[in-house]
Structure 1
Amino acid sequence: MEVEKDKEVSVDDILQILGPFGKFNMLNHIMILFPVLLAGMYSSVYNFEAMDLKYRCSVPECEEPSAVNFSIPHGLDGSPSRCRRFAPFYNNTLNDTCSPNYYDTSTEVPCDSYIYFEEHSIVKEFDLGCQDWKRSLVGTVHNAGFFISIPLSGLLSDRCGRRLAVVFASVACGVFGVLRAFSLNYPMFIVLEFLEPALGGGVYTACFVLAMELVGPKGRVFISLLFNTMFILGGVSVTTLSWWLQSWRYLLLVIYIPALPVFFYLWSLTESFRWLFSKGQFEEGINVLKKCEKFNKVTVPKDHYDQVEKQAMKKRDAMNYEISVTNQSALKQIFSSALIWKRLFICSFLWSSSTLVYYGLSINAIELSGNRYLNYIVVLLIEAPANVCKYICLDRFGRKKVIASAFVLTGIVLITYGFVPSGNWSEAFYLSGKFFITLAYNSLYIFAAEVFPTNYRTTLLAMCSTIGRIGSVLAPQTPLLTKYFEYLPTLVFGIMAALSGLCVLTLPETNNLELPDSLKDAEAQDKGYVPNINKVTDSKTTL
């Protein structure tokens, strides 16, 4: 009884009184979800900026339509070559350059120019015919920008506030996206393609952290589901807009200009009270909670705020004491633990594998037969049931079983894909691969957070996410593998996913275990439990 009586009120207790989804939180989350929708667009737009077009080799000396039959070699499907043409006979005396006898059908030479039948991507604008490496470089450069934005966003969010991080990242995306729409040449375009995600790529993470810190534990699962849904809608929206506008410049203007007004969030969006507490700004943090109380028209006992302030002060003092006693920063403590190194290596590999397969399947979907836009939309929409499945299965069957099974099933499906005849079954296997990798990838966010100690969790997750971007950087290059073997990309994806499934088995099960607060707690996870040291201490004190 004494333990219950002496129990302190936490911030989550106050949030329960305020209501996890009262008017105040709903208003703020609507504002936060808008940049998330835009982030979903920005993560997919490079696929349509640099989309391959229909074109053929140009024969300047004779552009009569009938000349294509004898001046350009044809493929097995009967279409004229995109990159090769027949050379004129050496010392040709014929004046009729449109005569079949003018061309040496035994000698092929590279094309000097091209005739484009479409114009909705940079391929025509910057004359990138038969330079597929320049097209794929757009996606690689875009994803490489995240190596800068992820740590930058984390640093800005922790030091200057969640709200400022959201505003900075969103506006940076808007500015560099709009500038990119006015690119004069390919080098200018590629530089701006890198700068946009390098400075604004952390918008999703910044929004996610702020949203999670504004609600209690019971609201976090739903918030995560909302974020996933909005991100999918963003991808579907940019695909639909690209299909409708048929102009990469107009597309960029339409999706990036709305990011600029997010600048006014500096005065309208609520700052995280948890961040304010962590910085010792207790009065400002309490004012945020009181503002929510007033807006939602509920009453919170005054002593609740006093207890929350005392708890926040204790946490700050405890953190400072740990650093002074160990005489080590959190970063130094990380590199002294073999356990942390092991988990960091495994989680980084899982992250890299996940991003390679996840983004690779999306990018390669455009290259599938049929309508390229519909293919991409369907591959995106299959993520919705995967996200729902994640929330149903993770708590019921455990993290390891679900994630390992999802990886292994991804591997089996994608390796088998190459042996399935083209048609409905082939498409079903491809979509199944995207379903299972989405289930594994999105579950990995939760699992990785649960295997790292509290004091190191943010830093280690940022490292995993940053290293994991290696996969997303390589993903845009995978369509080039089809030149060697049509199903080589999906074969590579399948092997990586299968290996990841085996690696998951080396991590501890974290389902129904308390989050580890220290290295000792993390070690206890391997034994199937995490002792709640705080509760034991409280009980002894009471006795």
Structure 2
Amino acid sequence: MRHWSVHYSICLCVVPESPRWLHSGNEFSKAEQILKRACKKNSKNKTEMYEFCKVLFKVDPASSNNLKTADPSVLKFTSLDLVRYKHIRRRFIMMVYIWFVNSLVYSGISLSIVKLGSNDYVTNALAGLIEIPGVIYSWIVIERFGRRIPLSLTMSVTGVACAATSVFSNEILVVTMGMIGKFGISASFSIVYIFATEVYPTPIRNTAFGASTLLGGLGGIVAPQILYVGVIFKQLPYLIFAALAIIAGFIALLLPETKGINLPQTIKEGEDLGTTKPFISSVTQNEKLSESEI
């Protein structure tokens, strides 16, 4: 613990604050200074890169018609903003459920997969190795097909594979279906980490991601209790995993696709993401929505 504390302390002294976060709090001068240093260190064409960063982030608060005040202390965002706006609230609830199912099914399969085969050591080793191609697969598909469809597909495949373990009696088929389920849930868990950071706007991204992780992580606590249900009916835990994973796969289709678009920089952009309203990340405002838009 002390070892990690030292590392975190060093990071706090070395790693600069996020320019997006500073911009969301109207601290434009600090964001500009960090971007200027980054351009000097990383860009060959420093002038061009710096001008691009200025256009992207630099805002004159006095010229923004959507800001009620230029005082940064007035525009503070809290955890209540997660449930205050209907589209962000709906997205947050869906993401928590998907994360919960990922944690539940991943923990459940990891704890019980040795029971599917006759050789505990071989089965457990295969269950660990199958995660490697699962993570690599997720990395490839999200770059080609986005986040929403691959997340839905991997969770649905996991659900079907878990259900299949309850249908087949042949040991080889049962172990194979279990490995497919572990592959799918490993891939979807990798995707959900990325997806969860992209569907929330910058002012509440850290809060939303942390809350999603916290509430979704409860699935890992519930998983052992679900496995105890197997005392009543041996196949029941995997049938429960299957049903929850398939439902999560369908829910994932309701989330907005985030591949190839700018991250929502304001609460309004986060609320408009995935709706019929055109999403244009102008990065020129950081207003809270009016009561009529909630």
- Calculate the TM-score normalised by the size of structure 2: 0.75
Structure having greater relative contact order (Cα 8 Å, sep ≥ 6): 2
2:98 corresponds in structure 1 to: 350
1:506 corresponds in structure 2 to: 254
Q: 1:336 to 1:364 in 2, by over 3 A?
A: same
Q: CA–CA distance in 1 between the matches of 2:266 and 2:256?
A: 15
Q: 2:280 aligns with which of 531, 535, 539?
A: 531
* 1:409 correspondence with 2:157: yes
Q: Which moved more, 1:523-532 or 1:344-353?
A: 523-532
Q: CA–CA distance in 2 between the matches of 1:378 and 1:316?
A: 57
How far off is 1:263 after superposition?
A: 5.6
In the alignment, is the contact (CA less than 8 A) between 1:323 and 1:329 conserved in 2? Answer: no
Query: Which sections of structure 2, spanning at least 5 residues, go unmatched?
Result: 286-294
In the alignment, is the contact (CA less than 8 A) between 1:515 and 1:530 conserved in 2? Answer: no
Q: Match of 2:137, SS?
A: helix
Q: State how 1:308-323 maps to structure 2 within 5 Å.
A: 321=70
1:431 corresponds in structure 2 to: 179
In the alignment, is the contact (CA less than 8 A) between 2:138 and 2:187 conserved in 1? Answer: yes
Q: CA–CA distance in 2 between the matches of 1:517 and 1:364?
A: 42
* 1:362 correspondence with 2:110: yes
* 1:274 correspondence with 2:17: yes
* 1:390 correspondence with 2:138: yes
How far off is 1:266 after superposition?
A: 6.8
What are the Cα deviations for residues 487-543 of structure 1, in whole angstroms up to 9, with x where unaligned?
A: 11111110100111111122122222221112332314223852031489xxxxxxx
Q: CA–CA distance in 2 between the matches of 1:451 and 1:381?
A: 31
Identity %: 23
Q: CA–CA distance in 1 between the matches of 2:152 and 2:218?
A: 21
In the alignment, is the contact (CA less than 8 A) between 2:162 and 2:177 conserved in 1? Answer: yes
What are the Cα deviations for residues 329-380 of structure 1, in whole angstroms up to 9, with x where unaligned?
A: 3334333211111111111111111100011100112334434343222212
* 1:451 correspondence with 2:199: yes
Q: CA–CA distance in 2 between the matches of 1:375 and 1:477?
A: 22
Q: 1:488 to 1:519 in 2, by over 3 A?
A: same
Q: State how 1:95-494 maps to structure 2 within 5 Å.
A: 171=1, 261-262=3-4, 265=7, 271-274=14-17, 321=70, 324=73, 329-494=77-242
How far off is 1:312 after superposition?
A: 8.6
Query: Which sections of structure 1, spanning at least 5 residues, go unmatched?
Result: 1-170, 172-259, 537-543
Q: CA–CA distance in 2 between the matches of 1:315 and 1:334?
A: 27
Letter in 2 for 1:519: I
Letter in 1 for 2:280: P
Q: CA–CA distance in 1 between the matches of 2:248 and 2:179?
A: 19
Q: State how 1:21-36 maps to structure 2 within 5 Å.
A: none
Q: CA–CA distance in 1 between the matches of 2:110 and 2:176?
A: 14
Q: 1:516 aligns with which of 260, 264, 271?
A: 264
Q: CA–CA distance in 2 between the matches of 1:421 and 1:316?
A: 68
Q: 1:401 to 1:315 in 2, by over 3 A?
A: farther
Letter in 2 for 1:480: Y
Q: Match of 2:254, SS?
A: coil
Q: CA–CA distance in 2 between the matches of 1:275 and 1:398?
A: 25
Q: CA–CA distance in 1 between the matches of 2:210 and 2:10?
A: 28
In the alignment, is the contact (CA less than 8 A) between 1:509 and 1:528 conserved in 2? Answer: no
In the alignment, is the contact (CA less than 8 A) between 1:355 and 1:468 conserved in 2? Answer: yes
- Calculate the TM-score normalised by the size of structure 1: 0.43
How far off is 1:261 after superposition?
A: 4.5
Q: CA RMSD in A?
A: 4.0
Letter in 1 for 2:269: D
- What is the number of residues matched between the two proteins? 270
Q: CA–CA distance in 1 between the matches of 2:120 and 2:227?
A: 14
Q: 1:493 to 1:322 in 2, by over 3 A?
A: farther
Q: CA–CA distance in 1 between the matches of 2:60 and 2:220?
A: 37
In the alignment, is the contact (CA less than 8 A) between 2:148 and 2:253 conserved in 1? Answer: yes
Q: 1:416 to 1:528 in 2, by over 3 A?
A: farther
In the alignment, is the contact (CA less than 8 A) between 2:77 and 2:204 conserved in 1? Answer: no
How far off is 1:301 after superposition?
A: 6.4
Q: Which has the larger radius of gyration?
A: 1
Q: 1:483 to 1:397 in 2, by over 3 A?
A: same
